[in-house]
């Protein structure tokens, strides 16, 4: 299912992609909004104390952009682009090298395809977020053992 970790003042989850896909199908896409809110909140909790951009994330505004924003057409695209940027910033803050970080263009193309077919960007983004949380745990364990001088923002097994 999912493993819950403590990050800063909040909690994050390593989500199983198959469970996410099943929930998207069973709820006829409504789970997408729940997922979107949770990922944005987790990113804010992860890096908000260390990065002003991540600290300014307002998860509800992202959900509003993805729902009511479609009436204006532009807000969902802006929100998706910013979410991809937030993942990239969090990956950099977490110590993930840039060649392994999320690709804005690919993520945005997947968002557009998801709008037309099925929200496939969820799998791309969730894979990167899961990698970030796993990397944080490994780095925290190494730091605790005195193996490295780098300690990512407070990531603990919950």
Query: How many domains in the chain?
Result: 1
Task: Give the whole-angstrom CA distance, residue 84 versus residue 106.
Answer: 10
Place of tokens 């003042």: 9
- Domain residues for the domain of 83 are 2-157
- pLDDT of 43 higher than 80: yes
What is this structure's pTM? 0.85
**Mean pLDDT on 46-61:** 86
Instruction: Indicate the average pLDDT of the chain.
Output: 85
Residue 157 main-chain phi, psi, to 5 deg: -70, 135
Beta strand spans in the chain (E): 2-7, 10-15, 155-157
């Amino acid at each position: 299912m999912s493993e819950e970790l403590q990050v800063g003042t909040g909690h994050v989850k390593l989500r199983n992609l198959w469970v996410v896909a099943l929930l998207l199908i069973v709820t006829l896409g409504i789970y997408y909004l729940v997922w979107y809110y949770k990922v944005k909140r987790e990113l804010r909790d992860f890096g908000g104390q260390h990065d002003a951009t991540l600290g300014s994330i307002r998860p509800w505004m992202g959900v509003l952009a993805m729902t009511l924003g479609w009436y204006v057409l532009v807000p969902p695209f802006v929100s998706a682009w910013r979410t991809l940027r937030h993942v990239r910033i969090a990956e950099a803050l977490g110590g993930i090298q840039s060649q392994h970080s999320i690709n804005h263009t690919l993520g945005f193309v997947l968002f557009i395809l998801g709008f037309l077919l099925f929200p496939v960007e969820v799998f791309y983004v969730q894979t990167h977020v899961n990698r970030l949380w796993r990397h944080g745990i490994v780095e925290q364990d190494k730091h605790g053992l005195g193996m490295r001088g780098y300690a990512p923002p407070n990531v603990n097994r919950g």
